[in-house]
Structure 1
Amino acid sequence: MPLHPDLLPTTPLSHDQAMRLAIAAAERVRGTTRPNPPVGCVILDARGIAVAAAGTDPVGGPHAEAQALAAAGERARGGTAVVTLEPCHHVGRTPPCTGALVEAGIVEVVHGVADPNPVAAGGADWLVGRGVAVVGGVLAADIADGVLRPWLHWQAHRRPHITLKTAGTVDGLAAATDGSSQWITGHLARRRVHVDRSRRDAIIVGTGTVLADDPRLTARSGDGALLPHQPLRVVVGRKAVPADAAVRGGAGPADPDTPELGGGFRHIQTRDMDRVVDVLADLGLIDVLVEGGPRLAGAFLAAGLVDAIESYVAPGLLGAGTAVVDTGSATTVADIARFRTTGVENLGGDVLIRAVRGPVAGRG
């Protein structure tokens, strides 16, 4: 049960402050809830003090609201529920969260993003009809550009949300002219990559990367141990993947509901990125990370399939070498694929730039 008492301060919180705690709780369960969204919930007592924080369980388990209410107990009565997504109002594998909130005596619900799924939507209106005050749209842009973006993208387009990861120098180079690339970025950036892998449904590389580097593509802790959640490892390309390739190796227990995905391996033998995305969509994958080399990155970019960027930039210059992205074609300035910066993070001298394509995906 993903409860997070360490997130709870002892002083009254504003709606924005409580929502930031709910976002943090959602981030902790990201990658474990598919096909459900990673939702976070914080319960404030009648004084405005946070008494419980929780994230959604894996599919079939209780939602964030139910877990937070259970942890809060009687302290929830007369209080406020702050949740990243509008509480669901339908009976699925679990009862509707709206009914649980009313039964617990919650008098106010604050949510970030409205639920776009017509099956589950309508919770806010139902709560208002039962006398519960509802405030929507709190930190909606942060949530829609962050922890809920892949799920919202899936709801809108029914295809995976594709994040392109790049790592290079300030002058945009991923490798030197002799092909060497380890290590352009430092250990904190590499550690961040492993945490990021553990939050994704799948990681994609090309056959060229597999043949050249023989990567494992697992998500590992600092001591090399496998993290609890492992993404599906996907290799794209027509060349054969050797039987003894590290990417084929075991990566921990499989997802109990979709055992072919959890920590598994799949080779998609095509150079058509639209076909790759269709295969991933058929598998129900929502949040996918492209970690391949410059040509694979360029292929996804040229196909218009890159929805977000995580770019690790080292404070160094090579002057000559391999670019982080290579579309294999001539370009002009008009060909720039524009993205919108959503965050910049310092990682021991390296910088992580996060950016997304298009407008904010959600609404309050």
Structure 2
Amino acid sequence: MARILGYIATSLDGFIAAPGDNLEWLFRYDGMDLGEHDYGRFLRRIRTVVMGRGTYDFIAKDDGPWAYEQQRVIVVTSQPIADPKGALETRGDIDSLIAELRGLGDGDVWMLGGGRLQMAFIERGALDEIEIYVMPELIGGGTPLFPATGFQITPKLLSAQALDRGCVRLHYAFPPARSDGRPPDLRSVGP
């Protein structure tokens, strides 16, 4: 069964992008030494990348080559994608997608991009772990790490580590869905 993982950077004040989807604040950290947690190392162990339509549209605007040639890519959208930037598949139903992803046996799945899709997976007990890289920046507004949905849960902290240039890596595990397929109880994974 595939593990479904998050790997995301956030500002200290809890935003993944400044207004207008601006990432200049994050690009200042390009080349930062993350050691064993380096993005390239993480991506090599990923077989399937799942992203929402907003993330896909943001990535597709970049002039560079498609970064996910080595992975299967699934975009969650209700609209067709004309002339996709790279090889990809689309899905419209999150519950069916979760069942499909859980049936994979060829490697881990990465939930790429914003917190809305990650929150939809968390609410269904389908995000196993997340690595959050907190950057020492206050950007004052923008896209929040997670949208305010009213959902409450207490993930288990697996590790916290100070890295290069003031970045802190937080690694959490989430409780799985209940055996009846319903979301996890609003409880902790562990102490």
- Flag whether TM exceeds 0.5 (same fold): yes
**Matched residues, number:** 169
Q: CA deviation at 1:345?
A: 4.8
Distance (whole Å) between structure 1 residues aligned to residue 82 and residue 25 of structure 2: 25
Q: Does 1:218 align with 2:41?
A: no
What one-letter code is carried by the residue in structure 1 that aligns with 2:169?
L
Matched ranges for 1:165-314 at <5 A: 165-184=7-26, 186-188=29-31, 192-214=38-60, 216-218=66-68, 230-243=70-83, 245-248=84-87, 265-267=88-90, 269-272=91-94, 274-314=95-135
Q: What residue is the counterpart of 2:171 in the other structure?
A: 354
Q: CA deviation at 1:285?
A: 3.9
Q: CA deviation at 1:183?
A: 4.4
Q: Percent identity?
A: 24
Gaps of 5+ in 1: 1-153, 155-159, 220-229, 249-264
Does the CA contact (< 8 Å) of 2:157 and 2:170 recur in 1?
A: no
Structure 1 residues 188 and 351: CA distance shift in structure 2, 3 A: farther
Distance (whole Å) between structure 2 residues aligned to residue 246 and residue 183 of structure 1: 25
Q: Which has the higher helix share?
A: 1
Structure 1 residues 194 and 211: CA distance shift in structure 2, 3 A: same
Q: CA deviation at 1:281?
A: 3.5
Q: CA deviation at 1:196?
A: 0.7
Does the CA contact (< 8 Å) of 1:163 and 1:308 recur in 2?
A: yes
TM-score, normalised to structure 2, is 0.75
Distance (whole Å) between structure 1 residues aligned to residue 157 and residue 126 of structure 2: 15
Distance (whole Å) between structure 2 residues aligned to residue 211 and residue 190 of structure 1: 28
Distance (whole Å) between structure 2 residues aligned to residue 308 and residue 193 of structure 1: 16
Q: CA deviation at 1:232?
A: 1.8
TM-score, normalised to structure 1, is 0.42
Matched ranges for 1:70-149 at <5 A: none
Structure 1 residues 233 and 217: CA distance shift in structure 2, 3 A: farther
What one-letter code is carried by the residue in structure 1 that aligns with 2:126?
L
For the residue of structure 2 that corresponds to 1:288, the secondary structure is strand
Does the CA contact (< 8 Å) of 2:50 and 2:76 recur in 1?
A: yes
What one-letter code is carried by the residue in structure 1 that aligns with 2:86?
V
Q: CA deviation at 1:339?
A: 2.3
What one-letter code is carried by the residue in structure 2 that aligns with 1:278?
A
Q: CA deviation at 1:343?
A: 4.5
What one-letter code is carried by the residue in structure 1 that aligns with 2:89?
R
Distance (whole Å) between structure 2 residues aligned to residue 167 and residue 188 of structure 1: 14
Distance (whole Å) between structure 1 residues aligned to residue 33 and residue 116 of structure 2: 21
Distance (whole Å) between structure 2 residues aligned to residue 240 and residue 293 of structure 1: 20
Over the aligned positions, Cα root-mean-square deviation in angstroms equals 2.6
Q: CA deviation at 1:173?
A: 0.6
Distance (whole Å) between structure 1 residues aligned to residue 162 and residue 76 of structure 2: 30
Distance (whole Å) between structure 1 residues aligned to residue 12 and residue 157 of structure 2: 19
Does the CA contact (< 8 Å) of 2:125 and 2:174 recur in 1?
A: no
Distance (whole Å) between structure 2 residues aligned to residue 183 and residue 313 of structure 1: 12
